[in-house]
Structures are given as structure tokens and as C-alpha cells.
Structure 1
């Protein structure tokens, strides 16, 4: 696994999409975690539920937490990491407010 990906505590939407593609090629599932009960329209969004999240394999799962602005999840990141020891936990920069539903990465030929 590329450790440089996890040097930052928060990812922009572009970083999230890039890293998600890269990690999924390695068999690692990257999930958006909804902490405000306002799901982002994507196939890999789950509600924050530490009990169910802890059932997922630690070495094959990355959680990307989001709220409305990204501030609360960044402030609470250590709380989430303590609740889910051994998991990779990241905050989504800007939260739902900065999420662009039509944003796509251009694939390089």
C-alpha cells in the first residue's frame, strides 16, 4: 500500500477519487462515511455506525468521513480513529458543501 496517500488527514474530492481508484486496484475498499444523515449520491456511501464498520476487514478498508463543511469530521478525526482502531480514517475536505456530483477524473490514455 502506498503510504504517501495517508500522510494527510483530509482529502479533497479529486484526491478521494484518485486514491479510491488506486487503492481499489490493490483490493482495498474506500468508503465515504456519512456523519450527518445526508448521503452523497455515490455507490460507496455508508452511514456512520461503528459497530457495523468494525466488521469490515481492517487491512482492506479505508473510511473517508464527511459532514456538511468538513470541519467537524476533521476536528473529530482522532475520535473516529479511537472508535475504529487499526482502520485508516480520513476526513473529506469541505464535506458535502464542496462535493461536486458531476466531477469526474479524466482517464489518461
Structure 2
């Protein structure tokens, strides 16, 4: 799978479901100490994230998605064995009740 720099919430939910079915871990990373309601998030902690399985996907979010997109190069350098993506729109665009249904 080719990984873009950004995923929307819908892309995140769809890809998470698909990738985890293939055994790839997908983490939603909180960089602002503000968890998203009804979402399984992980606090940004480089030391702990380094221990995640190689090939895991890290989706970073902030309030608007701009800061994490701007820092994406830094994240990719810090985690070369993982795929780093920014959540488009960040926490502000997250829709609490959005879900992906099987087609």
C-alpha cells in the first residue's frame, strides 16, 4: 500500500480496518494532550512508539491537522521503520459518530 501524507477521518477508519485485518498495527497519535472522544488514541511518546512493530502506521493529529502535516518530515525521520501520516483537519474535523460499514 502506498501511504499519502494525509488521511481524512473516513480514510483513516477504512484503512485501519483493512490494514489491521492484514496484521498491520494502526495508531492514532495524540500530539496535543487532548484525546478524541470515542477514539482509541495513544499519547505521543517517541520512546514507546519506537517499540511498535516495524511497518506500523502512525496517524498523528493536532487541533487542525496543519502542525502535524508541517512536522511530518520530522516524524518520518524519527520513525524510519514506520509509516507516518497526518490526520487531515485534525481533532477539529473529527466526527464522533462516523463509522465505516461493511459493503
TM interval, shorter chain, is over 0.9
Counterpart residue number, 1:87? 82
TM-score, length basis structure 1: 0.89
Deviation at 1:44, TM superposition (A): 3.0
Deviation at 1:42, TM superposition (A): 4.0
Counterpart residue number, 2:11? 15
Segment drifting more, 40-49 vs 79-88: 40-49
Matches within 5 A, 1:1-109: 3-4=1-2, 6=3, 8-42=4-38, 44-59=40-55, 61-108=56-103
Whichever structure has more helix as a proportion of its residues is 1
- The alignment's C-alpha RMSD in Å is 1.1
Q: What CA deviation, in whole Å up to 9, does each residue of 1:43-97 have, x standing for no partner?
A: 53100010000011113x1100000000000000000111111110000000000
TM-score, length basis structure 2: 0.94
Q: Structure 1 stretches of 5 or more lacking a match?
A: none
